Each structure stands twice: as C-alpha cells, then as structure tokens.
Amino acid sequence: MDPKQRNAAALHKRVDDLVRLFLQHYQSVLQQIGNDDQMSDYSRMAQRELAIKEDSMAIVKAAQDASVLIRDLQELWLFGSLDTLADPADEEVEKAKAVEIAGVVERLARAPPREVGAGAGEGSG
C-alpha cells in the first residue's frame, strides 16, 4: 500500500468510493430490471442484458476491491503502521507532557546527591 494512503482521510475516501460504486451499479441493475415496457424488440433486450451484465461485473470488481482493502487494513494493523487513531491535538498534549517530564528529570539530575539520596534513605531504614 502506498505510504501516502496510510492515513484516516485516505482510507475513508477509499471506503466511500467503494460504497458509492456498489450503490451506483446496484441501482443501475434495478433500473434495468424495473423497465417493464413491452420489450418486443430483440436488440433492446440484448442491450438491457448487456447493461445488467456490465453492472454485475462492476459490482463483482467493487467487491474484489473491498477484499483488497480489507487485506491491506489487516496487514497495516498486523505490522503496526495503521495510524488512523492519531490526532494532531493529542500529539501536542504528548509533547507538552514530554517537555514537563524532561524538566523534572533535569531538575533531579542537577540536584545535589544528598538531597536526592536523603529522601530514598529515610524510607528504606
């Protein structure tokens, strides 16, 4: 799968396109079936039959594409590169927490050893 297609927006678009294709061709088949005009002309019947076959093949193709999409999603999920749950706002919060933790670690690292060790020694004795 193309790395550019590994985000939520691209995956939603791909699913929406597949749903649109399914519905479009299914509706076309129903319209062809629903035409109840007296079809005494063999050429019209042949055209209707051809249109139904084309739409049914397009439905099969869309189903195959959906199967490929499912397979791609399974592979992305299995190998851990499916990044659809990430939210940019969450990343900012995580960065802020990381900076805060780094500040605490830096203060502890700069503190004299007696201050850090005094608190640890009192609890163990």
Confidence of residue 55 (pLDDT cuts 50, 70, 90): very high
Query: Which pTM does this prediction carry?
Result: 0.58
Burial of 77 (0-12, 13-18, 19+ CB in 10 A): exposed
Mean predicted lDDT score pLDDT of the chain: 80
CA–CA separation, 29 vs 49, rounded Å? 10
> d(Cα 86, Cα 77) in Å, to the nearest integer?
14
DSSP secondary structure of the chain: --GGG-SHHHHHHHHHHHHHHHHHHHHHHHHHHH--S----HHHHHHHHHHHHHHHHHHHHHHHHHHHHHHHHHHHHHTT----S--HHHHHHHHHHHHHHHHHHHHHHHS-HHHHHHHHHHHH-
Is 17 within 8 Å of 62 (Cβ atoms)? no
All structural domains of the chain with their residue ranges = 1-85, 87-125
| Per-residue pLDDT at 20 exceeds 90 | yes
Tell me the per-residue pLDDT of 96-119, one tens digit each, with 9 for 90 and over: 888 888 888 888 888 777 655 555
